[in-house]
Amino acid sequence: MGHLVRSFALAQGLAERFRVVFLNGGKLPRGIAVPKTIEVISLPPLGMDIEGNLVSRDQRRTVAHTQALRSRIIMQTFAALRPQALLIELFPFGRKKFAFELMPLLEAARQCAPRPLILCSLRDILVGKRRDQSHHDERASLLANRFFDAILVHADPRFARLEESFHPATPLSIAVHYTGFVFADRADAKAQKRQRMAPILVSAGGGLVGEPLFRAAVGAHALLWLELGVPMKIIVGPFLPEKHWLALRTVARQQRGLTVRRTVPDMCAEMRAATASISQCGYNTALDILHAGVPALVVPFSEGREDEQIQRARRLEQLGTLRLLDPQRLTPVTLAEAIRKLLSFRPRPSALNLDGAQNTADLVAWLLQPPSVPTHVATTQGVQL
């Protein structure tokens, strides 16, 4: 869900200058509003299971049928639009399982006359614990050099640089631009204030891998309720498996001071109104924490090859903006003790650049200009894929 939230924020920023067509590849989760300023084409949805295998989100179609249909729609859309810019999220630094539809698109774009500007959109930190990491990085660098004009890293370079999590044998020969972090700014996030007896807020992004954190939070609340009397509100996310959602609802009915919700319209506003925040440390969650200024404890997801969240959390802890609980130590007892300490924690204000959406739009407009065109002239059409 974090990738979708960031992509929608980017699309909104681009829509202030361009016509934006957004190809959506998965089922839209509840609670995520589609920006009204962009055109959305929903492809037959594919997703990933917990083992990382492609699955069809439409029971009427097999994965193979879905792949063929998606590829056809993408190529037809590209041919009809003939965009001036093509912005692809993560590939070739990730999304290897979607090469079947992205490689034909890149080949077609490269052969167009005039050729569109081809850009890669990257988050701040890449996963760095793959079994074949050196081969993966080398393949990504070769593909980026061959097909792309530039890479847009949505981070403040003072916080994270691409070369810190990307180590190919063949260096990148294309430009790397840092846009600042992409924060999906919402007006109500600034309006909501912390109230007396505000809850401790617990969240885990889309919730797909949040159940261990939620289970520990329920146990910690049982240990702390009589001592502190602070309520707890758990936002489980749209992707938490149904059996875990039903179990949490049952527990919440039995514990005083505990409420659970599936989704909320604005997580940053919820954080701003909370006594404290307990969460994982995905890209968008981290930005919500920084923007809300809430005392926050993060328990990063770090199973298997995933190390991006814990790297982000350690850097933010060094800046004094939040506290970190090692996920290997997560239990109701350790979480309760961390919450006790968190309630007296005062986060340092962040000086990181959070204007990534606007900066990206400005940068794309600049990259599209012929050398002879004045810098204030913007193009009129773009496409986000």
Beta-bridge partner residues of 302: none
pLDDT of residue 186: 63
- Say yes or no: do domains 2-183+354-384 and 187-342 share a fold: yes
The structure tokens listed for 162 are 């691409």
Q: What pLDDT band is residue 128 in, cutting at 50, 70 and 90?
A: confident
| Strand ordering across the sheet containing 21-24 | 39-42, 21-24, 383-384, 85-89, 117-122, 150-153, 175-178
pLDDT value at 361 more than 70: yes
Mean pLDDT, residues 337-365? 96
pLDDT of residue 288: 96
Mean pLDDT, residues 182-190? 66
Signed CA dihedral, 358, 361, 362, 363: sign only: positive
Q: What pLDDT band is residue 197 in, cutting at 50, 70 and 90?
A: confident
Question: Which of the pair, 373 or 43, is modelled with greater confidence?
Answer: 43
CA angle 64, 66, 69 (to 5 degrees): 110
Mean pLDDT, residues 57-79? 95
3-state secondary structure of 320: coil
- Superfamily (CATH) of domain 187-342: Glycogen Phosphorylase B; (3.40.50.2000)
Instruction: Identify the burial level of 18 via C-beta atoms within 10 angstroms of its C-beta, where 0-12 means exposed, 13-18 middle and 19 or more buried.
Output: buried
| Average pLDDT of the chain, as a whole number | 91
Q: What pLDDT band is residue 372 in, cutting at 50, 70 and 90?
A: low
pLDDT value at 70 more than 50: yes
Neighbours of 57 (CB within 10 A): 13
Mean pLDDT, residues 115-130? 91
Q: What pLDDT band is residue 187 in, cutting at 50, 70 and 90?
A: low
Fold of 2-183+354-384: Rossmann fold (3.40.50)
User: How do residues 17-38 score in pLDDT, each as one tens digit?
Assistant: 999 999 999 888 877 888 999 9
What distance in Å separates the CA atoms of residue 17 and residue 362, rounded to the nearest whole number?
Answer: 8
User: How do residues 277-330 score in pLDDT, each as one tens digit?
Assistant: 999 999 999 999 999 999 999 999 988 778 999 999 999 999 999 999 999 999
Q: Where are the alpha helices (DSSP H) in 186-241?
A: 187-191, 211-228
CB 123 within 8 A of CB 283: yes
pLDDT value at 252 more than 60: yes
In the chain, what are the domain boundaries? 2-183+354-384, 187-342
What distance in Å separates the CA atoms of residue 220 and residue 218, rounded to the nearest whole number?
Answer: 5
CB 228 within 8 A of CB 222: no
User: How do residues 92-120 score in pLDDT, each as one tens digit?
Assistant: 999 999 999 999 999 999 999 999 999 99
Q: What pLDDT band is residue 3 in, cutting at 50, 70 and 90?
A: confident
pLDDT of residue 2: 80
Q: Inter-axis angle of helices 356-368 and 2-15, to 10 degrees?
A: 50
| Strand ordering across the sheet containing 258-261 | 258-261, 232-235, 200-203, 276-279, 296-298, 323-324
pLDDT value at 380 more than 60: no
Q: How many percent of the chain have pLDDT more than 90?
A: 81
Q: What pLDDT band is residue 127 in, cutting at 50, 70 and 90?
A: confident
pLDDT of residue 53: 87
Q: Inter-axis angle of helices 308-318 and 283-292, to 10 degrees?
A: 20
pLDDT of residue 371: 62
DSSP code of 90? S
Q: Inter-axis angle of helices 332-342 and 211-228, to 10 degrees?
A: 60
pLDDT value at 134 more than 80: yes
pLDDT value at 383 more than 70: no
Q: Which residues contact 148 (CB under 8 A, 6 or more apart)?
A: 118, 119, 120, 174
pLDDT of residue 194: 53
3-state secondary structure of 203: strand
Mean pLDDT, residues 178-190? 75
CB 83 within 8 A of CB 21: yes
Q: How many percent of the chain have pLDDT more than 70?
A: 93
Beta-bridge partner residues of 298: 279, 324
pLDDT of residue 131: 77
pLDDT value at 121 more than 70: yes
Between 77-81, 187-191, 335-339, 374-378, the lowest mean confidence (pLDDT) is in 374-378
